[in-house]
């Protein structure tokens, strides 16, 4: 079982009974395992098993309620001694309609400490947020980081070397960080089948069962289009609609395309990066770039040989920035050039470019674009390698992306 760093957040907020700890993340990213690890921690520090109420709502054979009222009654029936603290952990809470009413009621009991997980951004819809305003602490769980992945792999080979690092990095680039695929390692066809099954599970449970989609084939094509173009140039909604019409991939209205993209975001398959323009001194409307929550799912769904890993590395960096709690935007310079990311945390902003190799071919776009900024932020490039004939100047800092992902270098 891979220990996730997020368990430390759960430990820190143990017994904050007025706060509902909500763990969100795409299906199969490890939320259930994280809850199980927390249960083991509670037992280890002396909490009796009768005080731990774990509900796995995606396993209907383990409970006999179907409504929020029945769930609330069931939980309270387990809290037989109000002088004790009870730890209520509800996995995949969105399965019970109006779950928030039950959770809100439980959060008012000083003897209940509550934790829930969910696989859909719908958890934070206006209806739910209004009821639970001021009571939520969200913990975003992503698929395994490269550090998680590396730590798992290196304990299997029991040898640390540059050669092993390169092998592990290549595996991660190709298959991503969904924990469940690790049991099929070195059986690539089974890995691909597993990742495909996760996508189909998300499609059915988080999208088709929730929304009315008349054009499922077109929906899948839009999904694959966004995933194929991760880390590409910024694109507007109008452009996506036009591309579908021109290439006969979909013939849908802008409203329908917009809805489909929103569903993909809510199911946490894709993430939208918005842009800030220094030229216009404002955020751009309806112009975005998209990234996959798990780049391995993206690679498998494409069903084609990967040609170059630059965009995948950019995707990995973007998700890692979110994991490290940066505020991330795309950046347009004064002369309409593009910087991959403007990242902000703790009142410090950094202009950030990402590439696989920094060489003469991409020098102007990667380093030269920094010259068109009118801010005084630190300028950083994350990359795998730098060509020997490249001279870095203008105060630009180059950091090895693998070292940064492994937390051995910072930016």
CA distance 297 to 176: 7
CA distance 233 to 241: 16
Pair 224, 302: CB distance under 8 Å: yes
Q: 168-194 pLDDT, tens per residue?
A: 999 999 999 999 999 998 899 999 999
pLDDT at 127 (0 to 100): 66
Label residue 160 by pLDDT band (50, 70, 90): confident
Rg (CA), the chain: 23
- Rounded percentage of the chain residues whose pLDDT exceeds 70: 99
pLDDT at 392 (0 to 100): 83
pLDDT at 391 (0 to 100): 83
Mean pLDDT of 374-392: 90
Label residue 63 by pLDDT band (50, 70, 90): confident
CA distance 222 to 31: 27
pLDDT at 126 (0 to 100): 65
Kindly report the CA angle at 118 between 115 and 123, in degrees rounded to 5? 100
Whether residue 216 is predicted with pLDDT greater than 90 in this model: the reply is yes
Q: 69-91 pLDDT, tens per residue?
A: 999 999 999 999 999 999 999 99
Mean pLDDT, the chain, integer: 93
Lowest-confidence pick of 44-58, 149-163, 216-230, 235-249:
149-163
Tokens (6 digits) for 104? 């809100």
Q: 319-337 pLDDT, tens per residue?
A: 999 999 999 999 999 888 9
pLDDT at 62 (0 to 100): 83
pTM: 0.94
Whether residue 26 is predicted with pLDDT greater than 80 in this model: the reply is yes
pLDDT at 133 (0 to 100): 85
Q: 351-381 pLDDT, tens per residue?
A: 999 999 999 999 999 999 998 887 889 999 9
Q: 273-294 pLDDT, tens per residue?
A: 999 988 777 888 878 999 999 9
Whether residue 305 is predicted with pLDDT greater than 80 in this model: the reply is no
């Amino acid at each position: 079982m891979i220990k996730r760093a997020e368990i430390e957040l759960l430990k820190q907020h143990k017994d904050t009974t007025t706060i509902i700890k909500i763990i969100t993340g795409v299906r199969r990213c490890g939320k259930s395992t994280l809850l199980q690890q927390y249960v083991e921690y509670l037992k280890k520090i002396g909490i009796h098993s009768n005080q731990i109420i774990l509900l796995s709502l995606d396993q209907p054979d383990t409970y006999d309620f179907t409504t929020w009222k029945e769930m609330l009654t069931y939980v309270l029936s387990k809290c037989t001694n109000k002088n004790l603290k009870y730890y209520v952990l509800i996995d995949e809470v969105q399965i019970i309609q109006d779950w928030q009413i039950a959770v809100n009621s439980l959060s008012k009991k000083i003897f209940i400490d509550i934790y829930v997980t969910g696989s859909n951004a719908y958890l934070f819809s206006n209806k739910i947020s209004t009821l639970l305003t001021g009571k939520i602490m969200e913990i975003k769980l992503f698929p395994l980081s490269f550090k998680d992945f590396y730590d798992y792999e290196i304990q299997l080979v029991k040898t640390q070397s540059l050669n092993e690092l390169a092998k592990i990095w290549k595996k991660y680039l190709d298959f991503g960080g969904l924990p469940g695929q690790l049991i099929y390692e070195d059986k690539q066809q089974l890995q691909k089948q597993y990742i495909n099954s996760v996508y189909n599970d998300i499609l059915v449970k988080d999208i088709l069962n929730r929304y009315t989609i008349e054009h499922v084939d077109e929906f899948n094509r839009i999904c694959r289009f966004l995933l194929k173009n991760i880390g590409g140039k910024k694109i507007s909604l109008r452009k996506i609609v036009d591309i579908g019409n021109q290439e006969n991939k979909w013939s849908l209205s802008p409203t329908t395309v917009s809805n489909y993209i929103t569903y993909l975001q809510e199911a946490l398959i894709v993430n939208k990066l918005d842009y800030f323009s220094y030229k216009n001194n404002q955020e751009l409307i309806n112009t975005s770039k998209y990234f996959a929550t798990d780049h391995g799912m993206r690679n498998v769904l494409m069903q084609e040989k990967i040609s170059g890993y630059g965009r995948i590395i950019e995707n990995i960096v973007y998700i890692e920035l979110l994991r490290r709690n940066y505020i991330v935007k795309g950046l347009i310079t004064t002369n309409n050039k593009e910087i991959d990311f403007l990242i902000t945390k703790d009142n410090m902003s950094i202009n950030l470019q990402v590439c696989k190799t920094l060489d003469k071919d991409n020098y102007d776009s990667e380093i030269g674009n920094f010259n068109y900024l009118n801010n005084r932020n630190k300028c950083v490039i994350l990359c795998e390698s730098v060509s020997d004939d490249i001279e870095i100047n203008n105060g630009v800092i180059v950091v090895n992306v693998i070292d940064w992902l492994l937390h051995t270098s910072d930016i």
